[in-house]
Amino acid sequence: MHIVFIEPRFPANQKHFIRALAEVGATISAIGEGSKGSLDDELKSWLSHYEQVKNVCDEQAVLQAVRGIQRHVHVDRLEATVEAHIMPTAHVREAAGIPGTSVRTAFLCRDKPAMKEVLRQGGVPCAESAGVSSTAEVREFVERVGYPVILKPRDGAGAAGAIRVDSDAELEGAMRGLGVPSGRSVAIEEFIEGHEGFFDTLTLSGEVVHEFATHYYPNVLEAMRTRWISPQFLVTNRLESAPGYDEVRAMGRKVNSLLGIETTATHMEWFSGPRGLKFSEIGCRPPGVRAWDLYNVANDMDLYREWAMLIAKGRKSQYASRRLAAGIIALRPERDGHISGYEGLDAVRRSFGAHLIDWHAPPVGTPTQPVSAGYMANAWIRLKHENYDSLRQMLDSVGQTVRVLAR
């Protein structure tokens, strides 16, 4: 099996996909933006061929590179795992006659209004939403649905670029910020009250073969905009044993089916609240923030290798143990500037040393990153425990104990 992989160098965990493909015996070519000389020795040893392009989102450049490879050897699969690469790779895949995620599926997993229209027609409960490209269309939606609403780019990932709007005054600023008065098409949605989580799968020929459910505390929109919060997400080990998850699992399977998911990883966001379980959005790729690291620890697995087995061998080879719950807590600097020190880290290590997976504490003097940069932008700690509720208490304790000082 010969696999062409898009961009093996960045982000850093891309290397694990290459490593896993090599371990299962695939022949691997790669296309990336760096020079061949920029590849480390391990990547060079795993790759049979490498092509450099200026931009891996330039479909014509990537198609030319793929066709150059095809002139010498048959290509069985063309794979990408980064959100921004999914759509252009699907176009190249279709033009080059390579099986895999279709352009339709990639588009529906990228364009929020089109995605939700297909899912609503298929009976999946979603927030009211629309694609809008004028201030009149925005105001008509607000008049019909009411505040609060969410405005965001049609192809945004997660909470990136999303703005919660609670009033007419806020609406004007949000529309200007997103370019609506200039005719830019954006997504608008009703705000859904409830707890937020995500549901991730690995699929083989459309069938879910692995699944994982994870919870946010607090919800992402609040977490990415509030400095004093130390946000967490936790993967549960009670997917088959606790009430409520059957509905999440059924929704995930239905979403995958309606969108034509083939052999790939998926990442689906959901809300559960007073109005029941609601679908939020899905990406046709693995989750970000190194969530697979947590899944691997919690389930005694190597999901990179399992992904490679599904892609290259067409079969499942591992089983999730559900032995542990695992989670991450992001630790924000008290202000923007430079890291000046930490308080409470030693106490956390003494209290929870047996449950530590790993942690990151940027050295003193490191420039801080903004809150909106995400869960792993500054300091973070990852923990594990056999009991999900105990893990939540431990992460809460970390958030109350550790201070990231800055000046």
Taking residues 337-345, report their average pLDDT: 98
Q: Is the pLDDT of residue 63 over 80?
A: yes
User: For the residues 302-331, what does the mean pLDDT come to?
Assistant: 98
Grade residue 365 by pLDDT with cuts at 50, 70 and 90. Answer: very high
* Gap between the Cα atoms of 94 and 161, Å rounded: 30
Give the model confidence (pLDDT) of 122-156 as tens digits.
999 998 888 898 999 999 999 999 999 999 888 76
Whether 370 contacts 336, CB under 8 Å? yes
Average of per-residue pLDDT across 26-54: 97
Task: Count the Cβ atoms, other than its own, within 10 Å of residue 328.
Answer: 26
Least confident of 46-55, 187-196, 384-393: 187-196
Give the pLDDT of residue 221: 86
CA 1 to chain centre: 27
Asked whether the predicted pLDDT for residue 158 surpasses 80, the reply is: no
* C-alpha dihedral, 389 to 395 to 400 to 404, nearest 10°: -170
What is the set of domains in the chain, with CATH numbers? 2-100 (3.40.50.20), 128-190 (3.30.1490.20), 324-407 (3.30.470.20)
Q: Given pLDDT bands bounded at 50, 70 and 90, which one contains residue 277?
A: very high
What is the distance between the alpha carbons of residues 272 and 249, in angstroms, rounded to a whole number? Answer: 13
Find the range with the poorest average confidence among 71-75, 110-114, 269-273, 294-298.
110-114
* pLDDT, tens digit, 9 for 90 and up, residues 202-248: 999 999 999 999 999 999 988 988 899 999 999 999 999 998 999 99
Determine the pLDDT at residue 95.
Answer: 98
Per-residue model confidence (pLDDT) at position 156: 67
Q: Band of the pLDDT at 52, cuts 50, 70, 90? A: very high
**In the prediction, which pLDDT does 93 show?**
98
Of 130 and 195, the one with more pLDDT: 195
Tell me what the mean pLDDT of segment 97-104 comes to: 97
Task: Work out the percent of the chain whose per-residue pLDDT is above 70.
Answer: 99
Q: Stretch 181-201: mean pLDDT, rounded?
A: 92
pLDDT level of residue 113 (50, 70, 90 thresholds): confident
pLDDT reading at 347 higher than 80: yes
**Average of per-residue pLDDT values in the chain:** 95
Element (H, E) at 383: strand 379-385
pLDDT for 160 equals 66
pLDDT value of position 128: 85
Contacts of 63 (CB under 8 A, 6+ apart): 91, 92, 95, 96
